[in-house]
Structure 1
Amino acid sequence: MQLVKVGLCAFGMSGKVFHAPFLKEHPGFFMSAIVERSKQESKAKYPETTIFRSVEEMLQNADIELVVVNTPVQTHFEYVKMALEAGKNVIVEKPFTVDVSEAEILVNLAKEKNLFLSVYQNRRFDRDYLQVQNILEEGKLGSLKEVEIRFDRFRTEPSAKEHKENPQLKGSGSVHDLGSHLIDQATQLFGFPEKLFADVFSMKGQAFANDYFEILLYYKNDLRVRLKSSVFSKEAHYAYILHGNKGSFLQERTDDQENELVAGAIPTFNEDWTKPLNEPDGILNYLNENSDTKRILTSSEPGNYMNYYQEIYEHIVFGYPLPSPGSEIIQNMKIIEASLESSKEGQVVDLRDF
């Protein structure tokens, strides 16, 4: 099996939870280098990996062909550009960049260098989202009329992460953070909308970056898709609500990969590794071919973030399609940018202008 040598730009939560465990367990990757500016926390689990004290030092000295840029979003442009100019393929954490112009520069640079640039949209591999995909493919809801996708939390106190909480920093706040997931799922399921209207602000107060958003996407055929997130949601809502002319589907947010990884779970290659559901997590209510009502409790199948890295490996080795290429995620960045403008101006934004 061809071995792909990888360098990881940081060993904070993103590195410890979402990247290092999968690179370690996938037989096609070797985590050759990790950047830790002052500590050596990675040595305990990854003793075979060389620690570097800066991204610059790693790019100059490490034997790697793929770089994972998993640093704060405000540094993504600098480090992705640096890696591409060093001749390395790049995976960059979401959100891609702080704005559209940075994303476009990086996509063009990757193309010039004949390198790939992929954005880590891991929640395409959540069990609940995959279930929504399956339901839509079955066509039982008929013509869709209204969709809501939510990602709520109960985090009423600010975190200690300056790059996420400081409203003066471009790219901070929930629209870039959680919005990048919801927007990606909406565009994957329904394509690029024609217009949008957004309400974005900070429930914790003006001293903090936005932590609430409601983005209404306008599609052809009068479809409306609402994306919503709040940090003052003690009781869970259905994460996905879909209504069509033949039925409705309600799906809970039940993917627990992040929590299991934080608790120390080890992801496996080519098999399910998350805990099974104890009870159904969805409701499908529709009219069958005889116009009789069928109401079914549904259970989603496990998701696996390892599939993202498998798709990266298959792209490198076999030339299969690249998952979430930067050129595709530029469209998501346009929606983020338009949402902030819409909220600021209090008006509908025509996305054909972006």
Structure 2
Amino acid sequence: MQLIKVGLCAFGMSGKVFHAPFLTEHPGFFMAAIVERSKQESKAKYPDATIYRSVEEMLQSADIELVVVNTPVQTHFEYVKKALEAGKNVIVEKPFTVNISEALELVKLAEEKNLFLSVYQNRRFDRDYLQVQKILEEGKLGTLKEIEIRFDRFRTEPSAKEHKENPNLKGSGALHDLGSHLIDQATQLFGFPEKLFADIFSMKGSAFANDYFEVLLYYKNDLRVRLKSSVFTKEAHYAYILHGNKGSFLQERTDSQETELVAGAIPTYNEDWTKPLTGTDGILNYLKENSDSERTLTSTEPGNYMNYYQDIYEHIVFGKTLPSPGSEIIQNMKIIEAALESSDEGKVVDLTNY
């Protein structure tokens, strides 16, 4: 098996949870380098990886062909650009960048260098999202009319992460963070909308970055898709609510990969590794061909973030389609930027201008 040497730009939460375990367990990758500015935490679990004290040092010294930029979003543009200029393929954490202009420049640079640039949209591999995809493909809901996708939390106290909480930093706040997942799922399922209206602010107060948003996407044929997130949600809502002219589907957010990884679970290659779901987590109610109603409780199959890295490996080795390329994620950045404009000015924004 061809071995791909990888460099990790940071060893914080995302490095420890979402990247290092998968890169280590996938037989096609070798984690050759990790940036830790002052500590050596990675050495215990990943002794074969060389520790570098800066991204610049790693790019100059390490024998790697793929760089994972998992630093705060405010640094994404700088580090992705440096990695591309050093001749490295790049995976960058979501959100891609803080604005459209940065994203466009990086996509153009990657094309000029004949390198790939992929955005780590791992929530495409959540069990609940995959179930929604499956239900839509079955077509039992008929013509879709109204959709709601939510990602709620109960975190009433601010975190210690300056890059996420400081309202004066571009790219901070829930819209760029959780919103990048919901927007990506909406565009994957329904395409790019025609217009939007948004309400975005901080429930914790103006001293903190936005922690609440509601973005209403307008599609052709009168389809409405509502994306919503709040940190003051003690009791969970259904994460996905889909209504069509023949039925409805309600899906809970039950993917446990992040929770299990934080608790120390080790993902496995080429097989399910999360704990199986006990019970049901969805409701499907639709009209059959004879107009009788059928209401069933549904259960999701496991998701697996390893599939993202498998797709990356197959792109490098076999030339298969690149997962979530930067050129595709630009559309998500447009929605984020238009949503901020809509909320600031209290108006519906025509996305044909973006």
Counterpart of 1:181, as a letter, is H
Counterpart of 1:56, as a letter, is E
Note if 1:18 corresponds to 2:18: yes
Seq. identity, %? 88
Note if 1:30 corresponds to 2:30: yes
Task: Give 1:243-254 correspondences, 5 Å limit.
Answer: 243-254=243-254
Query: What is aligned with 1:188?
Result: 188
Unaligned runs of 5+ in 2: none
Give distance in 1, aligned partners of 2:214 and 2:156.
18
Query: What is aligned with 1:54?
Result: 54
Counterpart of 1:78, as a letter, is E
Q: CA offset at residue 278 of structure 1?
A: 1.0
Give distance in 2, aligned partners of 1:122 and 1:326.
14
Give distance in 1, aligned partners of 2:217 and 2:166.
27
Q: CA offset at residue 247 of structure 1?
A: 0.1
Give distance in 2, aligned partners of 1:225 and 1:326.
23
Give distance in 2, aligned partners of 1:292 and 1:272.
37
Counterpart of 2:27, as a letter, is P
Task: Give 1:24-103 correspondences, 5 Å limit.
Answer: 24-103=24-103
Give distance in 1, aligned partners of 2:277 and 2:24.
26
Q: CA offset at residue 289 of structure 1?
A: 1.1
Give distance in 1, aligned partners of 2:264 and 2:279.
24
Query: What is aligned with 1:169?
Result: 169
Query: What is aligned with 1:299?
Result: 299
Task: Give 1:298-317 correspondences, 5 Å limit.
Answer: 298-317=298-317
Name the SS for the 1:30 alignment partner. Answer: strand
Give distance in 2, aligned partners of 1:329 and 1:246.
32
**What TM-score results when the alignment is normalised by the length of structure 2?**
1.00
Give distance in 1, aligned partners of 2:210 and 2:125.
26
**What TM-score results when the alignment is normalised by the length of structure 1?**
1.00
Q: CA offset at residue 18 of structure 1?
A: 0.1
Give distance in 1, aligned partners of 2:44 and 2:264.
14
Give distance in 2, aligned partners of 1:92 and 1:57.
18
Query: What is aligned with 2:273?
Result: 273
CA deviations on 1:281-306 (whole Å, 9 max, x unpaired) are 00000001111000000001000000
Give distance in 2, aligned partners of 1:233 and 1:9.
33
Query: What is aligned with 2:123?
Result: 123
Give distance in 2, aligned partners of 1:31 and 1:10.
12
The alignment covers a number of residue pairs equal to: 354
Give distance in 1, aligned partners of 2:242 and 2:49.
46
Give distance in 1, aligned partners of 2:252 and 2:151.
10
CA deviations on 1:109-167 (whole Å, 9 max, x unpaired) are 00000000000000000000000000000000000000000000000000000000000
Query: What is aligned with 2:199?
Result: 199
Counterpart of 1:353, as a letter, is N
Query: What is aligned with 1:107?
Result: 107
Query: What is aligned with 2:214?
Result: 214
Counterpart of 1:188, as a letter, is Q
Q: CA offset at residue 216 of structure 1?
A: 0.1
Unaligned runs of 5+ in 1: none
Note if 1:342 corresponds to 2:347: no
Give 4+ residue runs of structure 1 displaced > 3 Å after superposition.
none
Alignment RMSD, CA only? 0.2
Counterpart of 2:99, as a letter, is D
Counterpart of 2:96, as a letter, is F
Note if 1:287 corresponds to 2:293: no
Give distance in 2, aligned partners of 1:309 and 1:155.
30
Give distance in 1, aligned partners of 2:220 and 2:300.
29
